[in-house]
A = this chain, B = another copy of it.
Amino acid sequence: MRNRPITIRDLALKLDVSISTVSRALRGAPEINPETKTAVLSLAKELNYQPNVVAQSLRNKKTNTIGVVVPEIEMSFFSSVMSGIQEMARSHGYRVLFTQSNECYQEESHNLDTLLQSRVDGILMSISRETSNTEHIQKILRTKTPIVFFDRTPHGVPASKVIVDDRDGAYKAVSYLISTGAKRIAHIGGPRNLEIARNRRKGYIDALSEFNHPVGEHLIVHCEHLKEDAVEATKILLGQEEIPDAIFCINDPVAIKVIQTIKDKGFRIPEDIQVIGFANDPVSEVIEPPLSTISQPSKAMGRAALKLLLDQLTDENDFQPKTQLMETELLLRGSTL
């Protein structure tokens, strides 16, 4: 038997006033008699009254809840973003409905439907590695539910986003490798449909071109399933006649696998092969040698994404999609010269 929660009606009956009055007292409406207000508040406290936010949401057509869709909470980048989102949401009185797509388009689409049915005030999302068509997102846009993307953004969708300059981050990484004298710089890329993967690849190519390094297709391998394909990708690179002397990886989880595979094969890092990742995953500073990487302010990205969403909620009429670019930094550790 569940205890029936206290309602404003209970309070009203006990105090012999109307529910309107109780409601006004609780909400701190200006028209209320101070004494009535005190009486209501003290009774509410005494009975541990908890407003029914479900009822409030229905009445106000606002749930004070935002929905989040991430590919995988177990990826440390996303749990860190999530932490930033939660922190910011809490401080603004918002609740967070959490979903993950498990890198699967179907689940992602289903999650969006769930969030829509839940009448979240807005959505924060990073797309799955499978997502190239954006029908499910167009559906959200049609309902005019504000949505802000972070990190992995869909192509050609008019929505705000929080990203780092992926091309520039990659460019910094590869330029550095060139400065150490690396000649055959390979790239292990990510799923081709992800913009972040295309942009990091572009940064890699831009750096090579600028310094007149040859750009060879055989030096680029794509991991459509990210770290799950990383061992295989590394083996392909190490199996060539001339092995690379540096590898720039799409992200740290992939770079970790790359380092392990290189070591297994008996090559030395960084002497034989240098490695750079992307994201500054906690594992990267622990692995031997510690992984050089491009850091992203993951937690701040979460906070920023929520902030953009809240801004959009405030002035829904004159909404313009904004792109917020966050800073990256080249972190040099033992995996590079």
List B contacts of A51 (CB < 8 A). Answer: 117
Does A228 belong to the interface (CB within 8 Å)?
A: no
Q: What's the number of copies of this chain in the assembled complex? A: 2
What are the interface flags for A141-159 relative to B under an 8 Å C-beta threshold, 1 for contact and 0 otherwise?
0111100000000000000
Kindly identify which residue among B65, B79, B96 contacts A74, using a CB–CB cutoff of 8 Å.
B79
Complex-state Cα separation, A317 to B287, whole angstroms: 52
Spot the interface stretch: A55-63, A164-172, A176-184, A191-199.
A55-63
List B contacts of A119 (CB < 8 A). Answer: 5, 52-54
List B contacts of A260 (CB < 8 A). Answer: 286
**A contact residues, total (Cβ < 8 Å):** 55
> Closest residue to A118 on the B side, CB-wise?
B53
- Are B57 and A54 closer than 8 Å at their CB atoms? yes
Given the interface pairs A54-B63, A63-B54, the reply to whether A100 lies near B83 with Cβ below 8 Å is yes
List B contacts of A95 (CB < 8 A). Answer: 97, 114, 118
**Chain A residues touching B, majority SS:** mixed
Contact residues, A98-124 vs B (CB, 8 A): 98-100, 102, 107, 113-114, 116-119
Complex-state Cα separation, A139 to B83, whole angstroms: 26
How far is the CB of A27 from the nearest CB of chain B, in Å? 14
How far is the CB of A231 from the nearest CB of chain B, in Å? 14
- Are A1 and B52 closer than 8 Å at their CB atoms? no
Most chain B beta carbons < 10 A, residue from A54, A68, A260: A54
> Closest residue to A317 on the B side, CB-wise?
B1
Kindly identify which residue among B50, B116, B117 contacts A117, using a CB–CB cutoff of 8 Å.
B50
- Are B3 and A144 closer than 8 Å at their CB atoms? yes
Kindly identify which residue among B54, B86, B142 contacts A98, using a CB–CB cutoff of 8 Å.
B86
Kindly identify which residue among B48, B57, B73, B76 contacts A83, using a CB–CB cutoff of 8 Å.
B73
How far is the CB of A321 from the nearest CB of chain B, in Å? 16
* Top 8 A-B residue pairs of the complex, sorted by shortest distance between their CB atoms: A288-B288, A98-B98, A79-B79, A3-B144, A50-B117, A2-B144, A54-B57, A286-B287
- A to B CB contacts below 8 Å, 7 in the list: A5-B143, A68-B98, A73-B73, A97-B98, A260-B286, A282-B283, A287-B287
- A-to-B contact residues, CB < 8 Å: 1-3, 5, 48, 50-55, 57-58, 63, 65, 68, 72-74, 76, 79-80, 82-83, 86-87, 90, 95-100, 102, 107, 113-114, 116-119, 139, 142-145, 256, 260, 282-283, 286-288, 316-317
